[in-house]
Structure formats: C-alpha cells, structure tokens
Amino acid sequence: MTEPFITIRELRKSFAMGRETVHALAGVDVEIERNSFSMIMGPSGSGKSTLLYLLGGLDRPTGGRIRVAGQELEELDENALAVYRRRTVGFIFQSFNLIASMTALENVAFPMRFMGVPRRRRQQRALSLLAQVGLADRAGHKPTELSGGQQQRVAVARALVNDPHLILADEPTGNLDSASGHGIMQLLSELHHGGRTVVVVTHEPRMARFATRAVHLLDGRIVTEAEYNAAMLALDAAPEH
C-alpha cells in the first residue's frame, strides 16, 4: 500500500498565555489521501486554524509530526520550509488578504515577483488564472471595486500562481453570503477534480457535501461524527449564559 499524501501523528500545539497554557491541538492523528477534498469541521476555538497553519508550514508544532509527500516537515530548516510553502501549498484565508492598492491582476501577479518570473509572463499567467476563476473582465478592478465573492476568487487565483498541489483554505466562505460562498466551494471542488488535494476548514455543516471526507475537531482533538453531533446538540441545548 502506498503511504497517504499527508500523515499527521500525535500533533500538539500549545500557546503560553501569561501563566496559563492553551492546548490548541492536544494530540491529533489524521491521514489525508492524495486528490482528496477534506473538510475540517469544528466550533470556534477547536483548533482548526492551528491545524491548517501547521500543515501549511506557517508555524511549528509543540510536539508530534507532519509528513507530506514523504517529507517530515520538522526536518526542514526555515529556508526549506519556505520552499515547501511556496512550491507545495496554496493558502486561502477568510478575509481574502488582498493588497488594497493593487488591482486584481497585480494582486495575482505580485507573488511571482519573488520567483524571478519576467514581468510579461507574470501578467499573462495572472490573467489566465483570473479567467480560470471567472474574473477575466475584472482584472483592472481594485479590491474595493469587487464584491466579497469576487475578492475571494482573486485570492483563489493568487493561491494558484505556483501551481501548488495542496490547497489549504481557512473558512473561505466565512465572510460571504451563501450564493458567493457556494461559488467559492464549487471553485475549490473544481480544483479538487483537476487533481489537487484540498483541505478546507469550516464551522458551517452545509459545506460538508462538497468534500470527500470530513474530519471533526473538538477541543484540539479529532472525534467521531457521532461524538461531534452529540456535542453540537448539547451546545444547542445549553441555556444561554
């Protein structure tokens, strides 16, 4: 049997907050297959973003390990980790993180500056990526001249500049109305069908149908769907306080 694309073992991440220690991830074990579309579900504070950031090499764990395509992330020094982020991972955030003074085209082209891509080539590639996300006619618009859904499409195009295999999205529909959110999930679904591995974090259960599997997180631990549903029901039933 071939090994999974991603293997996560005993993953821990703690943050010191004054005299307290917050255990954002308290021992997570999970495998993610190549070309899968995984949905990481959990209520606010359950450790979803922490898990995604560690997987994307944006931060280092307190303990445990992450293996991606046969490579242990902990064995990578800062430079090698930066190469991993650049070559393998495309990130999409809830708040789009576009540069306000730049047009859609410039936002998508910008990361390619640091890869030594000539200017003309950058523009061509940015335009073709904008076309891929359905925004060819908005290339000259600045973020404030675009709807939330369009801004997130620009962010998706930008995440694709390096043709990364792994797409990580942290609540990508969290700031969008349901129609735009649906469009973004469909776009991520297309990337998955195009051969990429997609991992999306959400606390919206109705997004689960786009994924090939769901991972449920509660208090920094993976739980079964039954345990998760029971906990969510208990939360709903709890009196207001």
Ligand X SMILES: Nc1ncnc2c1ncn2[C@@H]1O[C@H](COP(=O)(O)OP(=O)(O)O)[C@@H](O)[C@H]1O
Provide the b/e sequence for 155-172 (b: ≥16 CB within 10 Å): bbbbbbbbebbbbbbbbb
The span of 31-39, 46-54, 63-71, 85-93 binding Mg ion (CB under 5 A) equals 46-54
- Contacting Mg ion (CB under 5 A), which of 46, 49, 152, 173? 49
Work out the burial of residue 122: count CB atoms within 10 Å of its CB; fewer than 13 is exposed, 13-18 middle, 19 or more buried: buried
Distance in angstroms (rounded) separating the CA atoms of residues 209 and 48: 19
Residue 180 interaction partner, one of Mg ion, ligand X, none, beta carbon < 5-8 Å per kind: none
The radius of gyration of the chain's CA atoms, rounded to the nearest angstrom, is 18
233, amino acid identity: L
If the CB atoms of residues 95 and 186 are measured against ligand X, the closer one turns out to be: 95
* 202 is a site residue for ligand X (CB under 6 A): no
* 56 is a site residue for ligand X (CB under 6 A): no
* 173 is a site residue for Mg ion (CB under 5 A): no
Sheet holding 166-170, edge to edge: 89-92, 166-170, 197-202, 37-41, 213-218, 221-223
Tokens standing for residue 217: 């997180």
- The contact pattern for ligand X, residues 22-41, with x = CB under 6 A and - = no contact, is x-x-----------------
Work out the burial of residue 16: count CB atoms within 10 Å of its CB; fewer than 13 is exposed, 13-18 middle, 19 or more buried: exposed
DSSP strand pairing (197-202 vs 89-92)? unpaired
Q: At its nearest, how many Å lie between ligand X and the CB of residue 215? A: 12
Q: At its nearest, how many Å lie between ligand X and the CB of residue 15? A: 3
* Other beta carbons within 10 Å of 234: 9
The span of 44-52, 92-100, 138-146, 154-162 binding ligand X (CB under 6 A) equals 44-52
* Other beta carbons within 10 Å of 177: 12
List binders of Mg ion among 107-126 (CB under 5 A): none
DSSP strand pairing (213-218 vs 166-170)? unpaired
Q: At its nearest, how many Å lie between ligand X and the CB of residue 220? A: 7
* 44 is a site residue for ligand X (CB under 6 A): yes
Q: At its nearest, how many Å lie between ligand X and the CB of residue 214? A: 15
Residue nearest to Mg ion as judged by C-beta position: 49
* 50 is a site residue for Mg ion (CB under 5 A): no
* 235 is a site residue for ligand X (CB under 6 A): no
Residues binding Mg ion (CB under 5 A): 49
Residues binding ligand X (CB under 6 A): 15, 17, 22, 24, 42, 44-50
